[in-house]
Amino acid sequence: MDVSADIANQPVAAAPATAKRLEKLGIRRRFDLVLHLPLRYEDETHLYTIADAPYGQPVLVEGEVIASEVQFKPRRQLIVQIEDRTGTLILRFIHFYPSQQKQLARGRRVRALGEVKRGFHGDEIIHPKIREVVAGEPLADHLTPIYPTVNGLTQPVLRRMIAAEVKVQNLADTLPADLKQRLDLSDFGHAVRLLHSPTPEYSARDLTDPTLPAWQRLKFDELLAQQLSMRLAYRARRKGRAVPLVGTGELRKSLAELLPFALTGAQAKVLEEIDADLAKTHPMHRLLQGDVGSGKTIVAAMAALSAIEAGYQVALMAPTEILAEQHYLKLSGWLEPLGVKVVWLSGSLRKKQKAETIGEITDGSARLAVGTHALFQDDVAFARLGLAIVDEQHRFGVGQRLALKDKGGEAHQLMMSATPIPRTLAMSFYADLDVSVIDELPPGRTPIVTKLINAGRRDEVIAFVRRTVAEGRQVYWVCPLIEESEALELQTAVDTHAVLSEELAPIEVGLVHGRMKSAEKADVMGRFSDNWLQVLVATTVIEVGVDVPNASLMVIEHAERMGLAQLHQLRGRVGRGAAKSSCVLLFETPLSEIAKARLKVIYENTDGFEIARQDLLIRGPGEFLGARQSGLPMLRFANLEEDIALLEEAKAFAPEMLRQHPALAEAHLRRWLAGREHFLNA
């Protein structure tokens, strides 16, 4: 079967305005209409008498309008009363049009679909779906599908378009018969037709049950398409050519002698995995993940030394200037005593300094370049880039990471993340990567006590800050982004700094935020590191990379506004020394249900992998992944937590299908991912 050769991938024929609305729903080609499945179903196949209509579920009733008036107390609303032979029912419309008022004039016969509730003046349906009928008009012969839509695109229009495509499209199977039999999967065509146009024996509840065989088939197909595309991407990368980077080990040995600590068993294990990749003739594409404070940077430094000893350069890219600068200070402190020149490149450097740094990268005298996205600007050319390291990789789009890698042709690539990736995400959206996990913390890290405190008890928190400083420790006070406004975030931090400076005097309070010049930020962070400043008021620029072992208290304002990953990262800025450490989450009430769920998770858990799993459940994969794979289609039907068994089957079968049924594999991919060739051909 060749899906790409039939009408599946033709663009939808629609008026420009309709085409634009369809595109918002992800519908560009004709087969996208087939895969645009209902959210729910309305049952207009069964008519209840008014007296027998049950509460708490959508029902269809029919009656004659015996009263219709617009009332103005307590607010403007249309109140309609209908009756049948068994009783009367009120239909209440708080928002209505003159045409509805006319449609519901006295004497008209209507059918109303909605949920019956007990009202002050008797049973009622609020905002029912209504249709004028004649007595004895036949009922629908199947459930009515309700599709996801946007303003201006009505359900009847969508239904007509989808029904037409289901009728003419090729719905032949793309799965081998033996696989369908082994997994007890229904036919693709049968599953699609059933979900779009259900037969009478199915109830609305049956059809929204995720374990329904038709849904299981669609979910499996979607997961299989994802796994096939990931396997192809992985295979394509392994066909690339890269220079093996094998060092002598002398620089590593020298660095190990200078360090005041030894690598943990987990660090040594992942370094072995990285070394094995670097020694190969195809480019490494490995993700190094570990919880906050697990020691990813020293592993990256050791990997960098292998590339440098092999005669190549290394680039380390971080998403923010403050993180890039922290990496630069740490890495230059480790490597420059070994004779390795480390440079820092960011957009805020002065023109002369920037030109000098770029010159050192170009002529090869800079062996390790640390910086922000400035590293992949057009005017930056590496003499011999062998290894590209990307920290907090989920904050960069695919294009940005590839632009850095391409500075060195087929350079090896190591991505790092302190946001642990749940197992189901690693199996699906990260299946094209080799993954290494640092699953233990270095010795000496102290447990962090998390406290949830209402913002109304702010004075108690300030007193806690005073006691902490009196004990010789230091404090972070973080002001988060408010209402997605950088200006407001800055002002909040400035105001908080002013208030705390006054209330905590004579304690020295510093301020750091994203709009400060690099030199200013470096000066403030340096004074905080050296304990000239005891309290540091900051925006979330200190989320990652900042390491001050003497800081033992983290206060986070408006914690209810922040995501779990960010809260976990911020909390990880303390607990880096021997002192008992605390994280105070200040929150404002009332709390939304999502905010309550997040705060409960962060209060009850310190394990980053469990926090990430809960975060995935709360947010879903789309938000969790962010810009990790810009352009990668999110899962529409499968649920990574509920459908783990299907995901495992799809992951296991994908290599077999590519090997034994390549034509079917291609047809399957074209059916599910056509129009996204940039991803298919990764």
CATH of the domain at 582: 3.40.50.300
Do 322 and 272 share a domain, yes or no? yes
Q: Is residue 423 part of a domain?
A: yes
Distance, in Å, from the CA atom of 59 to the CA atom of 113, rounded to the nearest integer, reads 6
Do 346 and 398 share a domain, yes or no? yes
Helix (H) or strand (E) segment spanning residue 245: none
Do 27 and 53 share a domain, yes or no? no
* Residue 397 near residue 627 (C-beta atoms within 8 A): yes
Do 373 and 285 share a domain, yes or no? yes
pTM: predicted TM-score of the whole model, two decimal places = 0.75
Distance, in Å, from the CA atom of 582 to the CA atom of 572, rounded to the nearest integer, reads 10
- Of 438, 469, 486, the residue at which a domain comes to its end is 438
Tell me the residue ranges of DSSP E strands in 558-625: 581-587
Distance, in Å, from the CA atom of 573 to the CA atom of 310, rounded to the nearest integer, reads 35
- Whether residue 74 is preceded by a cis peptide bond, meaning omega within 30 degrees of 0, is yes
* Residue 598 near residue 618 (C-beta atoms within 8 A): yes
Q: Is residue 83 part of a domain?
A: yes
Q: Is residue 574 part of a domain?
A: yes
* Residue 34 near residue 166 (C-beta atoms within 8 A): yes
Blockwise average pLDDT, block size 10, the chain, 682 residues: 64 93 92 94 92 92 95 88 95 89 92 92 92 91 92 93 95 94 94 94 90 96 92 84 91 92 92 96 90 86 96 90 83 94 88 91 94 84 92 56 59 85 78 85 80 94 96 92 48 84 94 80 87 91 70 93 85 84 93 91 88 79 50 73 91 94 93 58 39
* Edge-to-edge strand list for the sheet holding 77-84: 117-119, 122-126, 87-93, 77-84, 58-71, 109-115, 129-132
Do 35 and 55 share a domain, yes or no? no
Q: Is residue 631 part of a domain?
A: no
| DSSP, res 534 | S
Distance, in Å, from the CA atom of 201 to the CA atom of 330, rounded to the nearest integer, reads 67
Q: Is residue 73 part of a domain?
A: yes
Query: What local confidence, expressed as pLDDT, does residue 491 receive?
Result: 56
Do 477 and 574 share a domain, yes or no? yes
Distance, in Å, from the CA atom of 287 to the CA atom of 525, rounded to the nearest integer, reads 29
- Of 605, 631, 664, the residue at which a domain comes to its end is 605
Q: Is residue 628 part of a domain?
A: no
Query: What local confidence, expressed as pLDDT, does residue 599 receive?
Result: 94
Residue 489 structural domain: 449-605
Do 476 and 570 share a domain, yes or no? yes
Token duo for residue 616: 């995935």
- Of 575, 605, 635, the residue at which a domain comes to its end is 605
Q: What angle do CA 393, 397, 399 make, to 5 degrees?
A: 120
Q: What angle do CA 531, 532, 534 make, to 5 degrees?
A: 65
Do 354 and 394 share a domain, yes or no? yes
Token duo for residue 185: 């999967």
DSSP bridge partners of 186: none
Distance, in Å, from the CA atom of 376 to the CA atom of 402, rounded to the nearest integer, reads 9
Do 362 and 412 share a domain, yes or no? yes
C-alpha neighbours within 13 Å on the C-beta side of residue 443:
6
Query: Helices (DSSP H) in 210-264: which residue ranges?
Result: 213-239, 250-258
Do 295 and 382 share a domain, yes or no? yes
Which residue in 653, 606, 282, 246 sits closest to 447, CA to CA? 606
Report long-range pairs for 138-143 (Cβ below 8 Å, ≥24 apart): 139/44, 139/45, 139/46, 139/47, 139/60, 140/44, 140/45, 141/45, 141/200, 142/45, 142/197, 142/198, 142/199, 142/200, 143/41, 143/42, 143/43, 143/44, 143/45, 143/198, 143/202, 143/203, 143/204, 143/207
Query: What local confidence, expressed as pLDDT, does residue 406 receive?
Result: 58
Which DSSP string do the residues of 127-184 spell out, in sequence order?
Answer: S-EEEE--TTPPPPSSPEEE----TT--HHHHHHHHHHHHHHS-----S-HHHHHHHT
Distance, in Å, from the CA atom of 292 to the CA atom of 290, rounded to the nearest integer, reads 7
Q: Is residue 625 part of a domain?
A: no
Do 96 and 179 share a domain, yes or no? no
Query: What local confidence, expressed as pLDDT, does residue 624 receive?
Result: 53
Q: Is residue 405 part of a domain?
A: yes
Do 129 and 151 share a domain, yes or no? no
Which residue in 531, 532, 536, 594 sits closest to 561, CA to CA? 594
Total domains, the chain? 4
